[in-house]
A and B are shown apart, each in its own frame.
Chain A
Amino acid sequence: MSEFLAMGGHAAFVWPSYAVAVGALVALAAVSLRQWRAAKAEVARLEALGPRRRGGGGA
Chain B
Amino acid sequence: MDGNAAPRGRSLHRFANPGRFMRLSGAVLPWAAALGFAVSAVGLVWGLGFAPRDWQQGDTVRIMYVHVPAAWMAMGGYLGLAIASLMSLVWRHPLADIAATSIAPVGAVFTAICLVTGSLWGKPMWGTWWVWDARLTSVLVLFFLYLGHIALTSAFDEPERAARPAAILALIGAVTLPIIKFSVDWWNTLHQPASVTRFDAPAVHVDILWPLLIAGLGFLFAFAAIVLLRMRTAILERRARALMLARAAETRAPEVVPA
- On A, residues with C-beta under 8 Å from B are 4, 7-10, 13-14, 16-18, 20-22, 24-25, 28-29, 32-33, 35-36, 39-40, 42-43, 46-47, 49-50, 53-54, 56-59
Contact = CB atoms under 8 A, between A and B. Distances in A.
Contacts of A43: 236, 239-240, 243
B53 A8 contact: yes
A10 B59 contact: yes
Interface of B: 1, 4-5, 16-19, 22-23, 26, 44, 48-49, 53, 58-60, 62-63, 66-67, 70, 105-106, 109, 112-113, 116-117, 120-121, 123-124, 222, 225-226, 229-230, 232-233, 236-237, 239-240, 243-244, 246-247, 250
11 contacts: A9-B58, A13-B63, A17-B67, A21-B44, A25-B113, A35-B233, A43-B243, A50-B243, A57-B16, A57-B18, A58-B236
A8 B52 CA distance: 12
A8 B26 contact: no
A17 to B, nearest CB: 4
A13 B61 CA distance: 10
A42 B236 contact: yes
B17 A56 contact: yes
A59 B22 contact: yes
Nearest to B112: A24
Nearest to A16: B120
Contacts of A36: 229-230, 232-233, 236
Given A17-B67, A40-B236, A58 B60 contact: no
Given A20-B116, A33-B229, A13 B247 contact: no
Given A20-B66, A32-B233, 9 more contacts: A10-B59, A13-B124, A17-B66, A29-B222, A43-B240, A50-B246, A58-B239, A59-B23, A59-B26
Closest 9 CB pairs of A and B: A39-B236, A8-B59, A7-B59, A57-B17, A21-B66, A46-B243, A17-B117, A8-B58, A57-B19
Contact of A17 (B106, B120, B229): B120
Given A50-B247, A54-B4, A14 B60 contact: yes
Nearest to A34: B233
Contact of A21 (B1, B60, B70, B247): B70
A29 to B, nearest CB: 6
A53 B246 contact: yes
A23 B229 CA distance: 18
